[in-house]
Structure 1
Amino acid sequence: MVERIPRPDGLRLLLTPNRSMTWHGNVRIWLCLFAISVVITTGFSLAGAWVIVPFAGLELIALAFGIYLTSRDCQRREVLTINDTDIHIEKGMKQKQAEWTLPRRYARLRLDAPAHPFTPAKLSLTHRDTDVPLGQFLNIDDTAILVDFLESRGVVVERKEPDPQIGLWF
């Protein structure tokens, strides 16, 4: 998701993955599945198939671990601050973990077009030997919004077409 935040000295963009549900919503879903699993496991256990109990527990642990990893990964953020002279990029989850400052005049947005029409383009801001991947979690529409916005702010876009693929699976 691309969110514009106006500032007195420029503009700030907040890039975040699309989240369909909050952490509390995910926990509620898991609790509902836990309750259903307990009912089914109890029924099979009373019928004499007690072997199902450890497998149901392992399934619920694996599901909880998957929900946790997905929710944690959706907390990534990238903040682009664009002013008259610089483009400042900050990345992190709950706090800033990395940052770069590129001169706006010489920075380039490299757009690697996808080989398949259902995948988004890969973006990166470059200047000399600095190459910062940008918005790797954005979908196709959000990627297009970000490219259009940066292009309207004067950032030069270098488009690279995918290499032709020769083989059985096109």
Structure 2
Amino acid sequence: MVEQLPADTGTRLLLTPNRSLSWHGNVRVWLALVALSMIVVSGMSLAGAWLVLPFAGLELAALAAALYVTARHCQQKEVLTLSADTIRLEKGIDRKDSEWEWPRQTARIDIHTPRHPWTTPKLSLRHHTRDVSLAPFLNHEDVTILIGILEEQGVQLQKRAPPTMAWF
């Protein structure tokens, strides 16, 4: 998701992955599956198949871990600030974990065009030999919106074709 934030000077963009459910929604889905599983498991254990209980618990624990990891991954954020003389990229989940700030004249955005038209192009912020990936979680529509905003702001964009490979 690409969202413009208010900024004193220049443009500030908040880049986040699309989320279908909030954390509370994920917890509700998990609790519904726990309730359904307990109904089935209690019926089976009353029928004499009590060994199903620990495996149902392991399955629910694995599902909870997977939901947590996925929800945590969907909380990552990137803030791209474009001022008159600098480009700043900040990355993090709950707080800012890393930050890059480069002069606008020598920094550029590389657009790595994919081999297949259905694949999302990858973006990277480049300054001399340093290359930082830019919002790898964005979908095709969001990348198109971001490229349009960057073009409006006059940021240097460079398209890079995929490397040619011989298949034999």
TM-score per shorter chain, which class?
over 0.9
Aligned residues: 168
Matched position secondary structure for 1:7 = coil
> Match for residue 91 of structure 2?
91
Deviates more, 1:118-127 or 1:85-94: 118-127
> Match for residue 54 of structure 1?
54
Deviates more, 1:58-67 or 1:154-163: 154-163
How many percent of aligned residue pairs carry the same amino acid?
51
Q: Which amino acid is 1:10 matched to?
A: G
| Per-residue Cα deviation, 1:114-164 (whole angstroms, up to 9, x for no partner) | 123332111101111221110111011101111111122111211112234
Partner Cα separation in structure 1 for residue 139 and residue 166 of structure 2 = 27
> Match for residue 154 of structure 1?
154
> Match for residue 66 of structure 2?
66
Question: After the TM superposition, which segments of 4 or more aligned residues of structure 1 sit over 6 Å from their partners?
Answer: none
> Match for residue 129 of structure 2?
129
Deviates more, 1:107-116 or 1:27-36: 107-116
Partner Cα separation in structure 2 for residue 167 and residue 129 of structure 1 = 30
- Give the TM-score taking structure 1 as reference length: 0.94
Question: Displacement of 1:165 after TM fit?
Answer: 4.8
| Per-residue Cα deviation, 1:35-93 (whole angstroms, up to 9, x for no partner) | 00000001111111111111111110000000000011111010011111111110111
Partner Cα separation in structure 2 for residue 143 and residue 106 of structure 1 = 22
Partner Cα separation in structure 1 for residue 10 and residue 104 of structure 2 = 12
Deviates more, 1:61-70 or 1:105-114: 105-114
> Match for residue 18 of structure 1?
18
- Give the TM-score taking structure 2 as reference length: 0.95
Partner Cα separation in structure 2 for residue 55 and residue 165 of structure 1 = 47
Q: Which amino acid is 2:77 matched to?
A: R
> Match for residue 7 of structure 1?
7
Matched position secondary structure for 2:3 = strand
Partner Cα separation in structure 1 for residue 44 and residue 84 of structure 2 = 68
Q: CA RMSD in A?
A: 1.3
Q: Which amino acid is 1:104 matched to?
A: R
Partner Cα separation in structure 2 for residue 21 and residue 158 of structure 1 = 35
Matches within 5 A, 1:96-135: 96-135=96-135
Q: Identify if the C-alpha distance between structure 1 residues 84 and 139 changes in structure 2 by more than 3 Å, giving closer, same or farther.
A: same
> Match for residue 76 of structure 2?
76
Structure 1 residue runs without a partner (length 5+):
none
Partner Cα separation in structure 1 for residue 12 and residue 151 of structure 2 = 15
